[in-house]
């Protein structure tokens, strides 16, 4: 039988505004529980919401970057449901009139490039956070309640876990380059729910949609989808009927676990938010925001290829992280051998970085430039340069300091090198005869002996030149 996987995503992204969505409380991760709260975000009597203007600006930026239609008029609604982390008993969100509609992201799908449609982007507020103790208690931290969110709802255009992961990676890259969110999944500033079902292409029979929550990594999203696809195929093969459910991903068991029967739209009893006026926009404001948007990843990749003359693959890797691309550009401003720079970053730097998304170094771009210049000027050789870089990662010391401490500077004085060459040649007469007889490898052996005698510090070009000259005489 032929089966088709259908995947849609609901992504919640916390915006990096200074204050919360509808009050002046500080918007910042962590802090002592229940210290960043006020009558408005705690829903105390008399507390009325006031819209944070930057939420609108940031959402417009996201919408433009994701090829959405920005609506001139949108409104807020109340989404009613009961849960301890919801202070008001409802969430302020956008239902039928969101600010952004009909966008897309292009990804490299299972069968080539494809556009994954975005149904809408809506502005809303976050809930509080439940903390479960080992004493079977649930404690509430309301610092997060009222933090501004955008919810990005995709169309069911993805057909595998891999496509969903690629979509999320591209989305995260776009939003971080816009600087409207840090998108740290480990801190909850980017959260993703997956909707997945499977259709039998021969009979047209579909399984009921399953929503999977509690996904804390893009790889986890891919694994959860792949697990659900197998489960849904078994449902079709056994003729088992299942209603719409909400499940969570268990990282330990590597499987999804049933949470509850899925809510329907009617359960939320959506109603207009009477305390907030509609959001009205004009073309001038939208265009002003578009004009001042930061450079997006795809634009930066094209510029890197054109400006620095590096391969497309290198450019894509260097732009995979905002901090990494900034580091490359800072270095390129003062070191114009772009291919050498790219090669060193791609190989020697990145292999020592655990996570490109958290691109942090013990040294500055100026220190790195100093090292590259030392290698290029042949003050030190390539292998010594790698040793220096390793020490910079481990200790944060300056390149010149490390070179001096470890005595890595190359010997550039021909007269000093000549003495070593003479000694090596006098001890290796057979190799001289072999080279004269046309055995080129003998030259490499002699060069190697000189480098060994100089502890790798002799300039190889000078060594080569002196050996050739002396043998020819």
Q: Which of 254-263, 395-404, 434-443 has the highest mean pLDDT?
A: 395-404
- pLDDT computed for residue 1 by the predictor: 65
Nearest residue to 163 via CA among 359, 357, 324, 4: 4
Report the C-alpha dihedral over residues 364, 370, 376, 382, rounded to 10 degrees. Answer: -70
Backbone angles phi, psi at 189, to 5 degrees: -80, -10
Cβ contacts of residue 117 below 8 Å, gap of 6+?
A: 102, 103, 104, 154, 155, 157
User: Given this model, what pLDDT does residue 115 score?
Assistant: 93
Residue extents of the structural domains in the chain: 3-283, 294-406, 414-472
Whether residue 130 contacts residue 85, with contact meaning beta carbons closer than 8 Å, is answered with: yes
The arithmetic mean of pLDDT across residues 164-173, rounded, is 93
Q: What pLDDT sits at residue 158?
A: 94
Of the chain, the percentage scoring pLDDT greater than 70 comes to 87
User: Which residue has better confidence, 452 or 142?
Assistant: 142
- Higher model confidence: residue 146 or residue 257? 146
Q: Please state, in angstroms and rounded to a whole number, the distance separating the CA atoms of residues 374 and 346.
A: 19
pLDDT at 296 over 70: yes
**pLDDT computed for residue 406 by the predictor:** 74
pLDDT at 265 over 70: no
- C-beta contacts of 280-289 below 8 A and 24+ residues apart: 280/72, 280/73, 281/56, 281/60, 281/70, 281/71, 281/72, 281/73, 282/72, 285/60, 286/60, 286/64, 286/70, 289/57, 289/60, 289/61, 289/64
Can you tell me the distance from the alpha carbon of 33 to that of 105, in angstroms, rounded to the nearest whole number? 38
pLDDT tens digits for range 15-38: 999 999 999 999 988 889 999 999
Cα–Cα distance between 204 and 86 in angstroms, integer?
A: 40
Write out pLDDT tens, residues 400-423.
Answer: 889 888 777 766 656 666 666 666
Give the chain's mean pLDDT.
87
Selected residue with higher pLDDT from 446 and 32:
32
Calculate the alpha carbon distances from 157 to 12, 86, 243, 314, 364 in Å. 18, 32, 22, 29, 43
Two tokens at 188? 């909850």
Distance in angstroms (rounded) separating the CA atoms of residues 357 and 359: 6
What percent of the chain has a predicted confidence (pLDDT) above 90? 56
Name the E strands within 318-415.
none
Q: Which pLDDT belongs to residue 264?
A: 61
The whole-number pLDDT of residue 434 equals 64
What number is the average pLDDT over the span 186-208? 89
The label of the residue with tokens 């997060």 reads 144
Q: Residue-wise over 91-110: b if at least 16 C-beta within 10 A, else e?
A: bbbbbebbbbbebbbebebe
Residue range 457-465: mean pLDDT, rounded: 67
> Whole-angstrom Cα distance, residue 36 to residue 457?
60
The pLDDT assigned to 123 comes to 97
Tell me what pLDDT residue 340 has: 94
User: Taking CA 66 as the corner, what is the angle to CA 62 and CA 71, rounded to the nearest 5 degrees?
Assistant: 70
- pLDDT given for residue 275 in this prediction: 93
**pLDDT at site 10:** 94
Give the pLDDT confidence of 56-89 residue by residue, as tens digits.
Answer: 999 999 999 999 999 999 999 999 988 788 888 8
Q: How confident is the model at residue 377 (pLDDT cuts 50, 70, 90)?
A: confident
Closest CA relative to residue 213, chosen from 230, 191, 232: 191
Query: What pLDDT, on a 0 to 100 scale, did the predictor assign at position 271?
Result: 92
Residue 221 predicted with pLDDT over 70:
yes
pLDDT at 462 over 80: no
At 83 the pLDDT is 78
304: Cα separation from own chain's centroid: 18
Say which residue the tokens 């992961």 belong to.
Answer: 165
Give the CATH architecture of domain 414-472. Orthogonal Bundle (1.10)
Instruction: Label residue 246 exposed, middle or buried (CB < 10 Å: 0-12, 13-18, 19+).
Output: middle
Asked if pLDDT for residue 453 goes beyond 70, the answer is no
From residue 461, give the alpha-carbon distance in Å to each of 139, 321, 447.
Answer: 70, 38, 10
Q: Which of 230-239, 248-257, 447-456 has the lowest mean pLDDT?
A: 447-456
Select the more confidently predicted residue: 446 or 162: 162
Q: For position 61, what pLDDT does the model report?
A: 97
Distance CA 7, CA 37 (A): 37
Cα 129–Cα 83–Cα 13 angle in degrees, nearest 5:
50
pLDDT for the residue numbered 414: 62
Name the pLDDT band for 227 (thresholds 50, 70, 90).
very high
pLDDT at 31: 85
């Amino acid at each position: 039988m032929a089966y088709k996987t259908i995947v849609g995503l609901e992504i919640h992204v916390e915006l990096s505004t200074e204050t919360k969505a509808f009050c002046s409380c500080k918007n910042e991760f962590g802090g002592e529980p229940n210290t960043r709260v006020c009558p408005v975000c705690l829903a105390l009597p008399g507390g009325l919401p006031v819209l944070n203007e930057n939420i609108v600006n940031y959402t417009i930026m996201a919408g433009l970057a994701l090829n959405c239609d920005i609506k001139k008029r949108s409104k807020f609604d109340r989404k009613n449901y009961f849960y301890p982390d919801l202070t008001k008993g409802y969430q302020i969100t956008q239902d039928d009139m969101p600010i952004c509609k009909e966008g897309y992201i292009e990804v490299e799908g299972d069968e080539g490039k494809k556009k994954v449609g975005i149904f809408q982007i809506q502005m809303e507020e976050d809930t509080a956070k439940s903390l479960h103790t080992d004493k079977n208690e649930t404690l509430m931290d309301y610092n997060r309640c009222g933090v501004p969110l955008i919810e990005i709802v995709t169309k069911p255009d993805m057909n595998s876990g891999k496509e969903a992961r690629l979509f999320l990676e591209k989305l995260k890259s776009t939003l971080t380059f816009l600087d409207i969110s840090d998108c740290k999944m480990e801190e909850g500033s980017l959260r993703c729910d997956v909707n997945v079902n499977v259709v039998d292409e021969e009979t047209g029979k579909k399984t009921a949609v399953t929503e999977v929550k509690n996904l804390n990594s893009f790889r986890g999203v891919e694994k959860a989808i792949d697990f659900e696809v197998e489960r849904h195929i078994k449902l079709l093969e056994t003729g088992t009927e299942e209603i719409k459910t909400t499940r969570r991903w268990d990282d330990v068991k590597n499987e999804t676990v049933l949470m509850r029967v899925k809510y329907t739209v009617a359960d939320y009893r959506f109603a207009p938010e009477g305390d907030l006026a509609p959001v009205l926009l004009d073309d001038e404001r939208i265009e002003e925001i578009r004009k001042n948007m930061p450079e997006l990843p795809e634009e930066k990749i094209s510029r890197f290829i054109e400006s620095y003359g590096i391969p497309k693959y290198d450019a894509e890797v260097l732009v995979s992280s905002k901090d990494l691309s900034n580091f490359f550009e800072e270095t390129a401003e003062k070191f114009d051998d772009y291919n050498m720079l790219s090669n060193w970053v791609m190989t020697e730097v990145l292999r020592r970085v655990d996570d490109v998304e958290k691109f942090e170094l013990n040294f500055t771009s100026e220190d790195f430039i100093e090292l590259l210049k030392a290698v290029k000027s042949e003050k030190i050789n390539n292998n010594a340069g790698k040793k220096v870089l390793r020490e910079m990662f481990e200790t944060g010391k300056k390149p010149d300091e490390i070179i001096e401490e470890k005595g890595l500077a190359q010997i550039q004085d021909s007269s000093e090198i000549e003495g070593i060459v003479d000694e090596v040649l006098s001890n290796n007469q057979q190799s001289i005869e072999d080279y004269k007889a046309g055995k080129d490898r003998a030259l490499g052996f002699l060069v190697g002996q000189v480098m060994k005698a100089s502890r790798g510090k002799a300039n190889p070009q000078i060594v080569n030149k002196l050996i050739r000259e002396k043998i020819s005489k």
